[in-house]
Structure 1
């Protein structure tokens, strides 16, 4: 049994570390989301459930790191001089990417946008606040401790494959969607997970992927498209022209459009060629019961 739980040097395998992080974290997130339902209706808008979900992941992460005697900054979850710059650049990139997808769909005659009747600035700001929480939650969960221990155990490529698959499967896909649309939506979500993983790998910090995640979701909602299948109301409302769903994304949103696959593929090529801005990591002496970190 030693070989199942321990490596050749007697250290706990990274797969078990990841599982030991994931199970209590999911329980914590579930508990906090249940507590959110007990909040007064007047308080809920100021405390989006996504921030409580992020708090659950943060607590699970701190617990796992405490066992390894590692700081939170070792996962790229810290506030430094470049954090705001990377976050801002990521948010802008997310807006540009989804904007290009929308332009492609519009040029192809799939839809046009009409100004929403009751558009309010407060609703747009609220949506940005909500999507910030979503970005923090999902990036801390998928590209924080779990992803980085997967890199140690599997190497960068297979860690990307596994985490991107988990990222894809964690998103709901309506069974009533047409099969081609569902396939495109799943492929897009997988590619998005890979892109966000590359954003971390090129900077060794979560600020860039959080920014991309937030900017992407927020601009989707601003244009009135569905965000991963969830209905949204923004400054505009898309009016579809009866073209195939796999072209426009339909009710699911632009993430089910074939143009999204193309745009994300181009983004992946660009990120792969980019050398990144990550500073060389200092060598740290491992604990007696901790294997040295292996970075892909």
Structure 2
């Protein structure tokens, strides 16, 4: 009787462990845990802290709970340290990411200005930029956590770096397909210029700090500083600006992210990061490649 119970327990443990070997199972568990915490927390905060006065607190609290619930999943299911959420030890990556995001967008607008398409009309109170800080922080953190920390990282475990990069990049691009002014090209553009670049950065560092910082500074620079539409959403930042010229160069209503110039410049940056990741030996093989090797 006792031995039967022990064997049943062992079989149950083995079954449980086998189930967690599947990437899809772990991904669904992560989505369930993080998504449930997000849904419940936002519902409760909307109920007990309603109104526009609490919107910043609600968003920042939801973001914090999102990070904590992801860390809880990793420790509970994957049973390891959450190294991808390193903070103080990744200070160089935070700094470099902030600089890279600003430089890239300034390069895009500088090029459009030289072509006579980007124009500065005036200035607003610099304090107007402050309202965008929490917005773009939350957007950058939650999007990178989901698309790079969850989709890319988990898919990479079984399908390898190349396939995972393509899946996460396309998912990221077409997640913006319902935004104002979005087109098929704008979705592909986001996939190429951001999906691949951010995925390559994660491959290179194996941490999310660089991704968080570059994503935030890119959005903040274009929306809060230059008042350029961020993925189709209009922004009224510090500088009063407008664009003239064909949509394929300016990005049209979607903003400069849908410009072929941005796709080229950001795409080249992505290629550089991919090369650095490859040189560092960060490309992981797919399970079928591992089988062939054996």
State the TM-score, normalizing by the size of structure 1.
Answer: 0.79
1:47 counterpart SS class: helix
Unaligned runs of 5+ in 1: 1-5, 281-293
- State yes or no: 1:165 paired with 2:170: yes
2:236 counterpart SS class: coil
1:239 counterpart SS class: strand
Which one of the candidate residues 4, 11, 26 is aligned to 1:17?
26
- Equivalent in the alignment of 1:260: 262
- Equivalent in the alignment of 1:185: 186
Distance 1:252 1:113 in 2: 19
Which one of the candidate residues 92, 95, 100 is aligned to 2:102?
95
Equivalent residues of 1:228, 1:255 under 8 A apart? yes
Paired residues in the alignment total 266
Equivalent residues of 1:188, 1:261 under 8 A apart? yes
Write the deviation string for residues 26-72 of structure 1: whole angstroms up to 9, x where unpaired: 33323333344342546425426265145235414413531232222
- Equivalent in the alignment of 2:59: 49
Are the structure 2 counterparts of residues 50 and 80 from structure 1 closer, same or farther at C-alpha, using a change threshold of 3 Å? closer
1:109 counterpart SS class: coil
State the TM-score, normalizing by the size of structure 2.
Answer: 0.80
- State yes or no: 1:79 paired with 2:87: yes
Equivalent residues of 1:57, 1:141 under 8 A apart? no
1:32 counterpart SS class: helix
Are the structure 2 counterparts of residues 158 and 212 from structure 1 closer, same or farther at C-alpha, using a change threshold of 3 Å? same
Which one of the candidate residues 118, 136, 150 is aligned to 2:141?
136
Are the structure 2 counterparts of residues 22 and 86 from structure 1 closer, same or farther at C-alpha, using a change threshold of 3 Å? same
Greater Cα shift, 231-240 or 123-132:
123-132
Write the deviation string for residues 176-212 of structure 1: whole angstroms up to 9, x where unpaired: x4xxx72331122102111101111111111111111
2:242 counterpart SS class: strand
Are the structure 2 counterparts of residues 275 and 147 from structure 1 closer, same or farther at C-alpha, using a change threshold of 3 Å? closer
Unaligned runs of 5+ in 2: 1-14, 283-289
Are the structure 2 counterparts of residues 197 and 168 from structure 1 closer, same or farther at C-alpha, using a change threshold of 3 Å? same
Distance 1:10 1:37 in 2: 37
Equivalent residues of 2:177, 2:184 under 8 A apart? no
Distance 2:279 2:220 in 1: 26
Write the deviation string for residues 138-190 of structure 1: whole angstroms up to 9, x where unpaired: 11111113322211111111111111122112224457x4xxx7233112210
Equivalent residues of 2:33, 2:69 under 8 A apart? no
- State yes or no: 1:231 paired with 2:239: no
1:155 counterpart SS class: helix
Choose 1 or 2 for highest CA Rg: 2
Instruction: State the shift of 1:134 in Å.
Output: 1.6
Equivalent residues of 1:51, 1:133 under 8 A apart? no
Instruction: State the shift of 1:216 in Å.
Output: 0.3
Greater Cα shift, 215-224 or 128-137:
128-137
Distance 2:113 2:50 in 1: 42
Instruction: State the shift of 1:248 in Å.
Output: 0.6
Distance 1:171 1:259 in 2: 19
Computed over aligned residues only, the root mean square deviation of the Cα atoms, in angstroms, reads: 2.9
Specify which structure has the bigger relative contact order, considering alpha-carbon pairs within 8 angstroms and separated by 6 or more residues. Answer: 1
